[in-house]
Amino acid sequence: MKQIKIGLLGFGTIGAGVVKLLKENSSLISEKTGAQLSLKTIADLDITTDRGVSTDGIKLTTNADEVLSDPEISVVIELIGGYEPARTFALKAIANGKHVVTANKALLAVHGQEIYAAAKASGVEVLFEAAVGGGIPVLSAIKGNMAANRFSTVLGIVNGTCNYILTRMTQEGADFTEVLKSAQEFGYAEADPTFDIEGVDTAHKLCLLLSLCFGTKVDLKDIYCEGITSVSAEDVDFAKSFGYRIKLLAIGKMDDGQIEARVHPTMIPSDYPLADVHGVFNAIRLTGDFVGPVMFYGRGAGMDATASAVIGDVVDLCRNMGAGISRRCAPLGYVDEKVGTLAIKPMGEIVSKYYIRFQAFDRPGVLARIAGSLGAHGISIASMVQSARSTDIVPIVIMTHEAREEDIRTALGEIDAFDVIRAKSTFIRIEDNLE
């Protein structure tokens, strides 16, 4: 039986899952590939900490070059994360004729085009199913079974930390800061959770989804990115009263040749399937012209689920190698020269419905002044709630009909300057027409 030797860069949680999966399911993998997969070398700065998995028969080293330059290793799994040295290591592996499997969405969102071009020049493959949605096989489905479809939308809950926080805020009425602390204690959030709660991790993943769905290069800085730190328990309660739940969504839409590319807290109807994605679970909803709406759901992170996707890519490579095939499918699912650069729609031009919350002094004429300013900027009110008076300052909540983002921001800037407004207004976009 053919032996395929693998090198692993990064022996953290996911790396430990890869070792565990290769050991426990080695015979099953051999039955499905006709090859014996052998993990030869693991490189990590820390090779002494017990990961809870056996490394018998595997070489451990702190020198990544022992993986990158070993002529016996034909597949390198990169699980270091971040931009550097992951980029340098990936490019060196490719230059040495090795296929690369990675879960590193940040690396590909920023340096993907460079890495894909290097892989094409060397005749090797770069696979990254685990980079979006952990164990959810959404990227391979976009490139494979749904490849004949033109996609109009892709919407995703793709960050388990944020979804866990918003789920608990919704179900328990808890405060953001309180739930974040709990998430860190349970290991659902990093000690420094900035990339998660500010939406950056979600934007990295949206970069990849947009490229695969629409065949375009995407610059990360062109994606509008807003995290969940400003979502309050009060907003969550008002959302429930209007029949909505708040989720951090990655949103991609094709709009007359331009792409809407945005990450932000979003109100979605509570009876939509996406609204029922709770805890650390992820879901991605795609709409194709022939397949219609399709939703993928599952564990978006974690040792076992992510390792499953990583080894799924390795299995795919092994099958290709067994058949003497290289680069059967380009990384983004499009012929390389057909990957274009579609324009990103300016955020000020997007059209949405909006939830707006004002903190105002309880004075005669306040509502009239707010409504007048909104109306002057072409913003129509769909409904309005003013809480019963308990102090001199009351929340006023307005739900709008569809309006331009730029008009909303201009009107709110004007209203926030009113002497009767106590604090900067809050607004959250609404997505309630997902077809």
What are the pLDDT digits (tens) for 248-277?
A: 999 999 998 899 999 999 999 999 999 999
Q: pLDDT tens across 165-216, in order?
A: 999 999 999 899 999 988 888 777 888 899 999 999 999 999 999 999 999 9
User: Is residue 268 in a domain?
Assistant: yes
User: Is residue 340 in a domain?
Assistant: no
Under the banding of pLDDT at 50, 70 and 90, the label for residue 435 is low
Secondary structure (H, E, C), the chain: CEEEEEEEECCCHHHHHHHHHHHHCHHHHHHHHCEEEEEEEEECCCCCCCCCCCCCCCEEECCCHHHHCCCCEEEEEECCCCCCCHHHHHHHHHHCCCEEEECCHHHHHHHHHHHHHHHHHHCCCEECHHHCCCCCCHHHHHHCCCCCCCEEEEEEECCHHHHHHHHHHHHHCCCHHHHHHHHHHHCCCCCCCHHHHCCHHHHHHHHHHHHHHHCECCCHHHCEECCCCCCCHHHHHHHHHCCEEEEEEEEEEEECCEEEEEEEEEEEECCCHHHHCCCCEEEEEEEECCCEEEEEEEECCCHHHHHHHHHHHHHHHHHHHHCCCCCCCCCCCCCHHHCECCEECCHHHCEEEEEEEEEEECCCCHHHHHHHHHHHCCCCEEEEEECCCCCCEEEEEEEECCEEHHHHHHHHHHHHCCCCEEEEEEEEEECCCCC
**Residue 14 clears pLDDT 90, i.e. is over it:** yes
User: Is residue 14 in a domain?
Assistant: yes
User: Is residue 29 in a domain?
Assistant: yes
Q: pLDDT tens across 215-239, in order?
A: 999 999 999 999 999 999 999 999 9
Average pLDDT, the chain: 94
171 & 273 share domain: yes
Q: What is the CATH classification number for the domain harbouring 394?
A: 3.30.70.260
388 & 419 share domain: yes
User: Is residue 388 in a domain?
Assistant: yes
> How many domains is the chain partitioned into structurally?
3
pLDDT for 324 equals 86
354 & 307 share domain: no
**Residue 364 clears pLDDT 90, i.e. is over it:** no
**Residue 388 clears pLDDT 70, i.e. is over it:** no
245 & 283 share domain: yes
169 & 287 share domain: yes
**What's the mean pLDDT in 146-153?**
96
319 & 351 share domain: no
Under the banding of pLDDT at 50, 70 and 90, the label for residue 131 is very high
**What's the mean pLDDT in 36-46?**
96
pLDDT for 196 equals 94
Report the catalytic residues. Answer: 205
User: Which range has the worst mean pLDDT, 29-33, 106-110, 137-141, 298-302?
Assistant: 298-302
80 & 6 share domain: yes
Q: Note the pTM of the prediction, 2 decimals.
A: 0.94
184 & 202 share domain: yes
155 & 92 share domain: no
pLDDT for 386 equals 80
Q: Which domain holds residue 391?
A: 347-430
287 & 367 share domain: no
pLDDT for 2 equals 87
User: Is residue 342 in a domain?
Assistant: no
Q: pLDDT tens across 287-325, in order?
A: 999 999 999 999 888 899 999 999 999 999 999 998 888
Q: What is the CATH classification number for the domain harbouring 89?
A: 3.40.50.720
Domain termination residue (choose one: 312, 334, 356):
334
